[in-house]
Amino acid sequence: MISWPNLVSQLFNGLALGALLALISSGLTIIYGTLGVLNLAHGAMFMIGGYAGFVAYQYTESFLIAVIAGSLFVMLLGVVMERVIIRHFYHRPHEDQLLVTFGLGICFVELVRLIFSSQSQLVPPPALFQGITNLGFMFYPTYRLAVVGIVAVALGALFIVLYRTRLGMIVRAGIEDSVMVDSLGINVYRVFMVVFGIGAMAAGFAGIVNAPVVSLTPGIGDDILVQTFVVVVIGGVGSFPGAILGGLIAGEIISVTSMFNPGYAYVMLFAAMTLVLVVRPHGLLGVQGRE
């Protein structure tokens, strides 16, 4: 069962999953870092990205359009959600924010279930990446390789937005001290709305990119949400590099453990999280003091 090619292919799987988790977690973490709101509907955002892309694909048969449509739809949804509901919760206790986003997540999942039923839906990978690639020492599904590349590009884009633009500077300043940013005369609320949109889009983009790898079901976001939490706890809340590092660690742990026994994947993931909590309570790359 445990052979060299098997291990390598699991490591590749871990890389693909880790890259996806990194992207989704970055979305969660920049929203939390900037707005102070932990979005429990983030898993639903991931799921909706997949479904929105699926609908677009059915009309256009173009994977590229599906990706764009899925991402934009979720971004729009995030902006509306922030504008209509989340905005009224900034000054309420954390528990209320958790409750309302949790409730919204359930509403989204059930709404999708109502429209598309619980049956799983399939989005085929784009023609360019279909089939299997010979890596010399083993064969590997081309699309999964492509996922790593696509997500890396997306993370790079997010990096540029966060670290090379004016908006990114404000966002990073906001993560450090949002009161200060507010008093500098920057309209924090508008920044919040944009950040929520971008964060949601990260999840939505991951959702549609992931769709050809696994089939779509309305509950697909729930597991992802839990894994994302572990990633954020490992990496450190509010840290973009932490999300990437945590994502890769979590992805590899899940994949490699699954090779031996899938039942233990979560146990190992949890053990890693516990270890980090004991040794570095604020996460590997987290900053002390932000709670």
Determine the Cα–Cα distance for residues 145 and 150; give it in Å rounded to an integer.
Answer: 9
Q: How many residues bind another protein (CB under 8 A)?
A: 45
Amino acid at 183: S
Q: Does the footprint of another protein cover residue 47 (CB under 8 A)?
A: no
CA 86-240-180 angle, to 5 degrees, is 60
Determine the Cα–Cα distance for residues 70 and 138; give it in Å rounded to an integer.
Answer: 33
In the bound state with another protein, the residue whose beta carbon lies nearer, of 92 and 190, is: 92
Q: Does the footprint of another protein cover residue 180 (CB under 8 A)?
A: no
Give one word for 259, left, alpha or beta, with left for phi > 0 and alpha for psi -120 to 50. Answer: alpha
Q: Which two tokens stand for residue 26?
A: 């970055």
User: Long-range contacts of range 94-102, CB-CB < 8 Å, 24 or more positions apart?
Assistant: 94/38, 97/36, 97/37, 97/38, 98/38, 98/40, 101/37, 101/38, 101/39, 101/40, 101/41, 102/40, 102/41
Determine the Cα–Cα distance for residues 195 and 188; give it in Å rounded to an integer.
Answer: 10
Q: Does the footprint of another protein cover residue 266 (CB under 8 A)?
A: yes
Q: Does the footprint of another protein cover residue 230 (CB under 8 A)?
A: yes
SS3 state at 259: helix
Contacts of another protein in 7-46 (CB under 8 A): 32, 38
Determine the Cα–Cα distance for residues 17 and 129; give it in Å rounded to an integer.
Answer: 17
Q: Does the footprint of another protein cover residue 277 (CB under 8 A)?
A: yes
Q: Which two tokens stand for residue 232?
A: 């954020």
- State in Å, rounded, how far the first CA of the chain is from the last one: 44
Annotate each residue in 58-97 with x if it binds another protein (CB under 8 A) or - if it does not, as one string: ---------------------------x--x---x-xxx-
Q: Does the footprint of another protein cover residue 103 (CB under 8 A)?
A: yes
- DSSP classification of residue 121: B
Q: Which of 76, 99, 148, 284 binds another protein (CB under 8 A)?
A: 99
Contacts of another protein in 112-151 (CB under 8 A): 113-114, 118
In the bound state with another protein, the residue whose beta carbon lies nearer, of 32 and 57, is: 32
Q: Does the footprint of another protein cover residue 222 (CB under 8 A)?
A: yes
Q: Does the footprint of another protein cover residue 260 (CB under 8 A)?
A: no
In the bound state with another protein, the residue whose beta carbon lies nearer, of 79 and 99, is: 99
In the bound state with another protein, the residue whose beta carbon lies nearer, of 177 and 223, is: 223
Q: Which of 135, 160, 169, 267 binds another protein (CB under 8 A)?
A: 267
Residues near another protein, by CB under 8 A: 32, 38, 85, 88, 92, 94-96, 98-100, 102-104, 106-107, 110-111, 113-114, 118, 222-223, 225-226, 229-230, 232-233, 237, 261-267, 269-270, 273-274, 277-278, 281, 291
